[in-house]
Amino acid sequence: MLTYSKEVERALKSNQPVVALESTIIAHGLPYPENLKLAAELEEIVHSLGATPATIGLIDGEPVIGLNQEQLELMAQGEHIHKVSVRDLAIAKAKKLHGATTVASTAYLAAQAGIPVFATGGLGGVHRDAKETYDISADLLSLTETPLIVVSSGVKSILDIGATLEYLETASIPVVGYRTNRFPGFYVQDSGYSLDWSIDSPKEAAAIFHAQREMQNNNALLVANPVPEEYALDAITHEQILRESLTELNNQGIHGKKVTPFLLKYFKEKTQGESLTTNLELVKSNVRLASQIAIAIKEKE
């Protein structure tokens, strides 16, 4: 059911390291042409470290593992690019729609393709009002059935991080901090929550990945990689803006899918664009680490 670019197909057949990348950040995360520029930068990072990038998306309903330049431009400029999670894949296929894959669907398709590592920015999680709305990201559920490594900078601080970590523990999703025993909070290096486990090198992540496969554990491994210190938001400023944004959210009665876009825009405005720079740099950092892990996995095979 999958279509592969020639480069990705060649890399997989020759057992070379491949890193999966999502397309939602291109279609819905940034305006054009900044989104297309970022897509090229992320793929270049993977290439420069000796791995093959596989940006995943849907073209006319068909899952494509490794979007080419024309397809990336379509994702960046297209007016009717649907945001497609796992539940939407069959619908998009039947309707022959163009779709940008979320964390959940990218992980799902990457696992189907046999790609062991996926890099993203921040994982979705349990929303702060989940007790009333049951708003829990499909990203978390997808990790219970995708045997791969997901590298992210934790989850966005606008979510209920404590509840998200509890969900991950209940779902038996192993979480390791990369050179830290604190769970990162996307814009900030420390969300305020500790982790039971940490690793110091890509080789350690590869070793855990292989141990999971040997034990027939098909859950994902979440590698929590804090945003580089020089790009992290000031913790006090971050907390102040977060409180203000949540108050404004309630005042305007915003809920559901509109919550995250509103809060991200609020942060961007209040930090005069600094939060956007933080977002871009943490994604690049995660792609670098994911590439190193992908290479380590192949070296250990």
Residues involved in catalysis: 22, 156
CA distances from 214 to 13, 145, 183, 199, 287 (A): 22, 16, 27, 20, 26
Which residues partner with 223 through β-bridges? 151, 176
Cβ-count burial 88-105 (b if 16+ within 10 Å, e if not): bbeebbeeebbbbbbbbb
Contact 232, 189 (CB under 8 A): yes
Residue type, 108: Y
Query: At 172, is the secondary structure helix, strand, or coil?
Result: coil
Query: Can you list the alpha helix ranges (DSSP code H) found in the chain?
Result: 6-13, 24, 34-48, 69-77, 89-95, 103-113, 130-133, 138-142, 161-170, 202-214, 235-252, 259-270, 274-300
Tell me the C-alpha distance between 16 and 11, whole Å. 5
Contact 216, 186 (CB under 8 A): no
Q: What is the dihedral of CA 175, 176, 181, 185, to 10 degrees?
A: -60
Token code pair at residue 114: 């046999």
Tell me the C-alpha distance between 125 and 157, whole Å. 10
Sort residue 285 into left (φ over 0), alpha (ψ -120 to 50) or beta: alpha
Backbone angles phi, psi at 65, to 5 degrees: -100, 95
User: Directed axis angle between helix 274-300 and helix 259-270, to 10°?
Assistant: 120
